Chains A and B, each alone.
Chain A
């Protein structure tokens, strides 16, 4: 089982943190700090496995990490997972991000952290590996994004009828209506 997935940069700033077991907020932040501390001390040409820190519990847990440019991807797993398999999983995750974001870089992760969560949710669910086929994942994400966009379009098409909206929404609606009339 995967206990946690963390992404942080070379200075320890968290870019994504997902925990699959309940921890309090303080503990979560402590885990992020401790993991960064352990991982940043590692040399470049050592193995990608670390025995887990004290917080995330027990001698059963390992930290499996990969360093891509300015980001560390760290998966904290217990002994039931294959270590080399998780290394491959991290690779698949990063490649999927690459496909979804077109040459992903740290800024993409910073500004679209909710999208990263959505992508991750298609790969790992409840601490278990759900899907590893990149195409499947990307297809699903595209379908969901389309669903979102069509909703926005529908609402703006409905426009002023019976909806409470503020000044900004008026502006947004008119803008969309413009573009809609063009495409239609």
Chain B
């Protein structure tokens, strides 16, 4: 005996009766088993009921794929009841990713061509919802025929189906373009709505269609005018506005047609003015129409008076009490901030007001708009507002706000000090939300502002003393204290309050950062390096620092351990070089601060590897220069091992076949002159080795005082290899005494353009001089 199947309502009752999720699952599984059995038995009478139940269960999230074939059977049935449920099932269960969906194409075709409009409507609806590209291609002609059907119900559905078809198969535009002109003459609003949508879709896809449809602008204007001027009509009006949906669609299409086209824009001007002034905005429908009008006015080539009117309308809306209106006003202003910047600027105060809204959607829009409105004249005020917003805004907006403020500060900072202050404030308020490069940017900025070193280090020290949890802030502060610790301790800075800082306090603070569980490994690295640097900056003894460093020599973190071990070695074996290695960093190129960190790493690596002493300081400082010259971050490779012995150079030269210089002789170059000290470069390209260039650096002294401790170092781009031979001496006696010479061997396998940077340090006239410069005017023969 066949058990009578439940009606849909009964099933729903049962499901609602279930008290727990598990009970509900049980009920549904039992019912699904029944449904599956019924499908298997092929019961035609109750199939629709079974499918209806299955669709309900599907909505609740349970699997229903076994109903797909039943949809097909129901669609093929002659009964309207069956078709109704079948098509609904097809829309919910089938989509273009299942192979079964193609099977309903034939049924749809039959249903489209038979006369009952309800059935045709169902078929069109399903086609427009889940029709795949193949289905659309097959059924395009059928739908085209239906565009001319007498029934307006079918026609309006056919038009929208055509839109879907064009989206799936753009080539079908050719079929659906011709009927549009005629469809525009319809009086039925549903058909008009669909036709406008169709024309909009066609115009957005093809410039040729756009040109074609510019002809209908006058007609659109007429339709819209009729809508606007007819009195209250019960048929399509919503809150007193006749068919606002159609009005909005027409305005949208006019916007597309009038964009960048003088003639069309002119045709629309009067109408737009009329709509803008006559629409009643006390209810939502009127506001919707007015907004669309404003967007259209701003987008086409409208008269200037009209544009002013439009912006003023938006300004009024910004002050409206209704939050929805304010939201849409902010969105519209955001769209025009690029094209009409000055006009939008006038509403800046109101926009900033909206920042204080408790509504998250509104404040997000206001934030985007505010960031777009920052310019050089209002940057101070705006940053103030944005910073107070940053303190109170919801967490998901913090990252955007912080990066927005930093970006604006970078673009429009009036002074360096203000810039540093701003970044500092952002880091203190929302440190964890800033992006990674903020630390690098700030260190680079501080490094470059020499006059602000004292100021920066004091402010950072105070900030750090208060709070050591914000990692970016701690990193920058540690770096700064390390670099400029001496400025922190000595004297006072006029720009900040007098701050008396003891050495012990500074060391204690850095140790606290090192030990805190809140500090990330990178932060600890910064702190440790800072401590090391302080060992040379501080006047007191460095025992405390030595202790800390040696403790970390057995730290579990490999990075810290390596640093600590190397610093330890520096204390023990290379103490005489400590000052030179840890001296202040020169100004970094953009993006180079990472490189500095790595340059220091490889410096230390070099130290631990080689045992040679005399050329080491030169080699390590060389790395600094090497990376400076390239200015790109990347792995800083250690330089090729140096050949310290002079003898080697001589031997090499003697190896060359024949001592005379190669045929093309390269002119000498005077590269430096200061108070009687001159530096000349002479170049030799040995003929046997085309990639090799020998540079002889000659320093002469024509002044009245001796030049002592003369050291010359050189750097070349990474693709080159450089060897510095030991100089002939380091003293240049006065009055044209014996010159100091030094040989540089440059290997240039890639024949890249040669760049050379020289660094000189010496004592002259009782002063120590340091000069760094790049050699210009290198003759091309040196590298070609």
What is A's interface to B at a CB cutoff of 8 Å? 14, 16-18, 20, 22, 25, 29, 43, 45-51, 80, 82-85, 87-89, 91-92, 110-111, 113-114, 117-118, 121, 125-133, 135-136, 140, 143-144, 147-148, 151-152, 163-169
Contacts and interface: CB of A to CB of B under 8 A. Distances in A.
A167 B1 contact: yes
Contact of B130 (A22, A84, A147, A152): A22
B362 A147 contact: no
Determine the main DSSP class of B at the interface with A.
helix
Nearest to A117: B88
A34 to B, nearest CB: 14
A50 B189 CA distance: 31
Given A82-B292, A126-B163, A143-B118, A88 B244 contact: yes
B160 A92 contact: no
B45 interface: yes
Q: What size tier do the contact residues of chain B reach?
A: 35 or more
Nearest 4 pairs between A and B by C-beta? A126-B128, A84-B288, A47-B323, A22-B95
Contact of A22 (B84, B85, B97): B97
A167 B58 CA distance: 29
B587 interface: no
Given A47-B361, A165-B45, A85 B194 contact: no
Nearest to A32: B61
A147 B63 CA distance: 31
A83 B189 contact: no
B244 A22 contact: no
A137 B613 CA distance: 94
A166 B38 CA distance: 13
B4 A167 contact: yes
B594 interface: no
B79 interface: yes
Contacts of A20: 129
B720 interface: no
A130 B194 contact: yes
Contacts of A50: 361
A132 B52 contact: no
A46 B362 contact: yes
Contacts of A48: 324
Given A88-B245, A126-B128, A126-B161, A151 B190 contact: no
Nearest to B44: A164
Given A47-B359, A132-B236, A133-B190, A84 B287 contact: yes
A66 to B, nearest CB: 11
Contact of A152 (B55, B56, B63, B81): B81
B40 interface: no
A131 B156 contact: yes
A22 B132 CA distance: 10
Contact of A82 (B121, B291, B361, B364): B291
B80 A129 contact: no
A43 B85 CA distance: 38
A131 to B, nearest CB: 5
Given A84-B287, A84-B288, A166-B4, A113 B59 contact: yes
Q: Which of A22, A89, A130, A144 has the most CB of B within 10 A?
A: A130
Given A114-B52, A148-B81, A151-B80, A83 B128 contact: no
B327 interface: yes
B351 to A, nearest CB: 16
B96 interface: yes
A125 B59 CA distance: 19
Contact of A129 (B118, B153, B235, B245): B245
Contact of B84 (A14, A140, A148): A148
B238 A92 contact: yes
Interface string B355-388: 0001111101000000000000000000000000
B70 interface: no
Contacts of A151: 79-81
Nearest to A168: B4
14 contacts: A22-B95, A46-B361, A82-B248, A82-B291, A85-B248, A85-B292, A87-B324, A114-B52, A114-B56, A118-B88, A125-B157, A126-B163, A130-B156, A166-B45
Contacts of A168: 4
Contact of A114 (B88, B243, B362, B364): B88
B190 A131 contact: yes
B53 to A, nearest CB: 10
A147 B78 CA distance: 12
A128 B197 contact: yes
Given A121-B125, A125-B125, 10 more contacts: A84-B288, A85-B244, A87-B288, A114-B52, A114-B55, A126-B160, A131-B193, A140-B118, A164-B45, A167-B4
